[in-house]
Structure 1
Amino acid sequence: MMEPTFPPLLQGQAVTGADDPFEKAQALSALGCDAGLVVHNIQADRLRAAMVFAPEVPLSKAVVMLPLCGIGLQSALGALAPPEVAVHLMWDGGILVNGAACGQLTIATSDTNPEATPDWLVVGLDIPFIRSGSAPGQIPEETALFEEGCGEVDQTRLLESWSRHTLVWINRWLDDGTAPVHREWNGLAFGVGAPVTRGDLSGTFLGVDENFGMLLRDDKTTHLIPLSTVLKG
């Protein structure tokens, strides 16, 4: 398998076997690695990767990297997959392909205080190409890329494309703020207007605020659930 090629400002580091690139990226970040590192584990049935960031804004704003990386993934699959393949994004980082769960984006930081600027932030990607343990269609609410007509999508090319498209969106966010990210994400968001439960709150998912916090409306009021609540400890 060919080594992936990354755009300027990004550099790759491979891990193999059972090594989790999301955990590896956090460990390397704690040791002081440079922002722009993409740790990756490319396997025949699965692509896992993690991108390291060095935020210059408080965590409440830096969490935009989660939806931004999701937009990057949708753009990458849009470029590589057949046109009939539909990709949607869940608020908490879940990925849907043709309406079924197909992987996850996760986020972790050095500091979970929303008002503090963390030393580092890592966004992880885990997306199945082939499902293990169940036959296609056996669990209809879950899927994998090859089941959805993406047999020509190569794991390495998807990783390269995800990194390129994510970098484009990072630069757009730096230049133009959250407004274009909001517009793009709103067109890809899954579940807006539908019932949702987050912790002990249940209601209707109305959308997100300027920092991508969930607006959840129950019978009495509208609750704001910060995106930082999905951080992995």
Structure 2
Amino acid sequence: MNQSPQFPPLFSGEAVRNHMDPFDKAVSRAIAGVDSGTIFYSEAVNTLRAALVLAPETSLEEAIQAVYVAQIGLAESLGALAPPEVPVHFQWPDRIKVNGAVCGSVRFAADVSDPRAHPNWLVIGIDVPFMLLSDEPGENPNQTCLHEEGCVDITPMALLESWSKHTLLWLTYFMDSGFERVHNEWRPRCDTLGKMIDRPKPGVFVGLDEKGRMMLRQGVMTETVSLIEFAEHL
């Protein structure tokens, strides 16, 4: 019998059946009024799928910056549990990369879409594959899993526990001192910064502004793209 993961103070966990999506469960429970800090998670052994419910006290434009917090929490968790030579990076807006290949993602949803509106809830989910469904390693060189990258000693529940602790720590920093500290931690882990990108649209990824929006340069023009545009519409 699996031992239930241990969560830090202010967070609690609820397992969902393997055929259920923890993100969908989190959204439905958030709509019903579940406590902020509840993490819904799958107990599957081949992947970590979990979703955290938050009840922001700010506008959506500020609250959505917590997505970066969740990414940092995941990177720090992998940094603590994985072999030291395994690099973890981000690809804006929602990809996690291990050893240069995509190895997971984040997703998010809120009950409002207007940046100035105050959401009742924000759900941030993570999905990290431990094993690939394909029998052919290297079949897609841009996709990987933790086991292929030498992280065979990490279990989904251990990563979940670590993610919850690191994410809570960075949420505290975020709430205490705003986005700047989060931005400073996130920036060096983004491997497309300063480079020409195709997604979400072609341009040079200049960086993030003070509100966490992507600054994308196209010729002499620079436009901003918000994470809000990538929130899941319910």
Instruction: Work out whether the TM-score is over 0.5.
Output: yes
- Identify the residue that residue 206 of structure 1 maps to in structure 2: 206
- 2:202·2:218 contact (CA, 8 Å) conserved in 1? yes
Q: Is 1:115 aligned to residue 144 of structure 2?
A: no
Identity %: 41
- Identify the residue that residue 89 of structure 2 maps to in structure 1: 88
Structure 2: distance between partners of 1:13 and 1:39: 5
Structure 1: distance between partners of 2:156 and 2:198: 34
Structure 2: distance between partners of 1:111 and 1:4: 31
Deviations 1:154-208 (Å, cap 9, x if unpaired)?
1111000000000000001111111110110001112111112345x42111011
- 2:18·2:43 contact (CA, 8 Å) conserved in 1? no
Deviations 1:126-170 (Å, cap 9, x if unpaired)?
010000024211111100000000001111110000000000000
- Identify the residue that residue 49 of structure 1 maps to in structure 2: 50
- Identify the residue that residue 216 of structure 2 maps to in structure 1: 216
- Identify the residue that residue 34 of structure 1 maps to in structure 2: 35
- Identify the residue that residue 64 of structure 2 maps to in structure 1: 63
Moved more, 201-210 or 118-127: 201-210
Structure 2: distance between partners of 1:19 and 1:197: 33
Paired residue secondary structure (2:202): strand
Q: How many residue pairs align between the two structures? A: 232
- Identify the residue that residue 103 of structure 1 maps to in structure 2: 104
Structure 2: distance between partners of 1:53 and 1:17: 23
- 1:67·1:93 contact (CA, 8 Å) conserved in 2? no
Structure 1: distance between partners of 2:227 and 2:45: 32
Structure 1: distance between partners of 2:189 and 2:61: 22
CA-atom RMSD in angstroms: 1.0
Paired residue secondary structure (1:205): strand
Structure 2: distance between partners of 1:121 and 1:176: 20
- 1:91·1:190 contact (CA, 8 Å) conserved in 2? no
- 1:196·1:202 contact (CA, 8 Å) conserved in 2? yes
Gaps of 5+ in 1: none
